[in-house]
Amino acid sequence: MEQKKINIGIVGLGFGKEFINIYKLHPNVGKVAICARTKSKVEAAAAEHGIPAELCYTSIEDMLKNDDLDAIHLATDIPDHYKHTMMCLKAGKHTACAVPMGMTIQECADIVNESQKQNKIYMMLETHLFTREFLYVKKLVDEGKFGKLQFLRSDHMQNMTLPGWPDYWLGYPPFLYGTHALAPAFEIIGKQPLSVVCHGSGAIKKERQSRYHCPFAAESATFFFEDTDVILESTRWLYDTIRQCREAFDVYGSKMSFEWQMTEDSGHVVYTNLEDAEVVDCPDTGYLLPPEIGKLANREAVEDKTHQSFIQGGGHSGSHPHTGNDFVQAIVNGTQPKSDAIHSAKYTVAGICAQQSAMRDGERIYIPRFD
Ligand X SMILES: NC(=O)c1ccc[n+]([C@@H]2O[C@H](COP(=O)([O-])OP(=O)(O)OC[C@H]3O[C@@H](n4cnc5c(N)ncnc54)[C@H](O)[C@@H]3O)[C@@H](O)[C@H]2O)c1
Q: Which is nearer to ligand X, 164 or 291 (CB)?
A: 164
> For residues 249 and 184, is the Cβ–Cβ distance under 8 A?
yes
Q: Which residues have a Cβ under 8 Å from the Cβ of 193 and sit 6 or more positions away?
A: 186, 223, 224, 225, 226, 346, 350, 367
CA distance 75 to 70: 17
Q: Which is nearer to ligand X, 104 or 254 (CB)?
A: 104
- Least separation in angstroms between CB 262 and ligand X: 20
Q: Which residues have a Cβ under 8 Å from the Cβ of 60 and sit 6 or more positions away?
A: 11, 35, 72, 76, 84, 87, 88
- Least separation in angstroms between CB 171 and ligand X: 15
- Least separation in angstroms between CB 66 and ligand X: 14
Q: Which is nearer to ligand X, 224 or 347 (CB)?
A: 347
Q: Which is nearer to ligand X, 279 or 311 (CB)?
A: 311
Give 67: exposed, middle or buried? Use CB within 10 Å, 0-12, 13-18, 19+.
exposed
Q: Which is nearer to ligand X, 298 or 308 (CB)?
A: 308
Q: Which is nearer to ligand X, 77 or 240 (CB)?
A: 77
Query: Which of 10, 55, 46, 20 has the alpha carbon at shortest distance from 321?
Result: 20
Q: Which is nearer to ligand X, 256 or 302 (CB)?
A: 302
- Least separation in angstroms between CB 320 and ligand X: 9
- Least separation in angstroms between CB 277 and ligand X: 29
Q: Could you list the residues that contact ligand X (CB under 6 A)?
A: 11-15, 35-38, 59-60, 75-78, 80, 98-99, 125, 127, 166, 309, 313, 316
DSSP string, 25-50: H-TTEEEEEEE-S-HHHHHHHHHHHT
Q: How many CB atoms lie within 10 A of CB 134?
A: 24
- Least separation in angstroms between CB 128 and ligand X: 7
Cross-strand bridge partners of residue 248? 155
- Least separation in angstroms between CB 143 and ligand X: 27
Residue nearest to ligand X (CB): 14
328 HSE (CA, 13 A, CB side):
29
